Amino acid sequence: MPEKPARPLHLDELVARLKPREPLKSAEELPLEMSVMLAATATPQVYLSVAASKGRNMGQAYEVKLSVRGATLGVHALPPAIETRKFGPEKDIRQRQKEWPDFEGYLPDHLPLRPLPRRLPSDLVVPPRVQSAALPDRPRDVHQATTIFAPDNRYTFNDTAFPWCTVGRVDTPGGQASGVMVGPRHMLTCSHAIQWNSDGTAGWVKFTPAYFDGSAPFGVAWGTWIYWEELKVFGPSLNRTEGQHDYVAVVLNNRIGDLTGWMGSRSWSDDWDGEPYWSHIGYPGDLAGGQRPSYQGSIALDGSFWDREVHTRIFHQGDVWPGQSGGPFFAWWDGESWPRVVADQSGQTSDENSASGGAHMVDCIIRARNDFP
């Protein structure tokens, strides 16, 4: 049996040991993919124009405009449904955890590296859009998203350095959530954000890494397959069993991770209970209407005693709000230039919030990456 990984780094240790770096090479030759669905009776004609524009706080920008002829006006062209793949462990998950305890991350040479995301400049700061309110009474074991524990320690940012660009906004027919790249074309998010259809398919999933105020600096990608295990989580309320399995691995239609890089993953260990190693990123609806990512560091996680380590709810008092569900809880380990995600945000009660992770989550990522490299 391999030794358990060394403990994660506290933020002060991370800042002291991991030095920022600038890009090692240019990214100008890398393609940026954008797409839009259009209704048409025949292949439409597309005309392209490019005009220079003054980008706010970004220097020179260009407006790329597409003019389409042959589209059927007034008709919606919705993305197709996504295939889903349920799986069970091929062998005892504890044995599988020994063989595949984690997956490594990837820091591309064309991206800068920063251990903490830069705060917004003053001219981009906006006041919160929603005030947190008292939660209605509900059974203690029923979780929803989400609770803010005063003082609110989140801050919004628009930093596109690694690893902050690996996290993005997830859009589905049911609304908006958060997700993180965990492979070249593999995104981790929560199961309750997915529209689970009665025919076994799922509704469309759109992922925009580093999304900020409508900007898509790395393009967009669409889901083609969704990997899930044991049960589908519908939400918004989650019981204990649903909270243990509130994650999915979404296979995307292009290798957008080659542009953004991706976080590694790691199975949860109860050895880490109670220590504030962890950070979280998501797209909260209260701070900027889900239009901007927020960051919070130094969060303590505590695995549930009854759930153990293989599939578990992990409790915390990080500050989360609807829209942050699916966003990663991650930390850094000494000697590695990427963080590792151990869980994604799932739900809450008035006393604690909960994330979903464990060896089964890593197994889900492994299967999606093995089937779709």
pLDDT band at 240 (very low <50, low <70, confident <90, very high): confident
Interatomic CA distance for residues 194 and 201, integer angstroms:
10
> Which are the contacts of 221, defined by CB distance < 8 A and separation ≥ 6?
33, 185, 187, 206, 207, 252, 253, 254, 256
Interval 165-189 mean pLDDT: 97
Q: Which pLDDT score, from 0 to 100, does residue 134 have?
A: 47
More confident residue, 254 or 152: 254
Q: Which residue has the higher pLDDT, 325 or 124?
A: 325
Pairwise CA distance, residues 11 & 14, whole Å: 5
Reported confidence tier of residue 58, pLDDT bands at 50, 70, 90:
low
Average pLDDT over residues 342-369: 89
For residues 169-198, give the mean pLDDT.
Answer: 96
Confidence at 152, pLDDT banded by 50, 70, 90: confident
Instruction: Report the pLDDT value the prediction gives residue 141, as an integer from 0 to 100.
Output: 58
| Model pLDDT for residues 73-105, shown as the tens digit of each residue | 999 998 889 999 998 766 677 676 666 667 899
116/127: higher pLDDT: 116
What is the location of CATH 2.40.10.10 in the chain?
A: 11-32+79-122+140-371
User: What pLDDT score does 352 carry?
Assistant: 84
Predicted local distance difference test score (pLDDT) of residue 246: 94
- Give me the percent of the chain exceeding a pLDDT of 90: 62
For residue 133, what pLDDT is reported?
47
Tell me the two tokens of residue 184: 């070249």
What percent of the chain clears pLDDT 70, i.e. is strictly above it?
87
The third-level CATH classification (topology) of the domain covering 11-32+79-122+140-371 is Thrombin, subunit H (2.40.10)
pLDDT of residue 82: 95
> Is residue 265 pLDDT above 70, yes or no?
yes
Give the model's pLDDT for residue 1.
43
- pLDDT tens for 306-348 read 666 676 889 998 998 889 999 999 999 999 999 999 999 998 7
Whole-number average pLDDT of the chain = 88
Residue 135, pLDDT > 60, answer no
Highest mean pLDDT among 34-43, 130-139, 141-150: 34-43
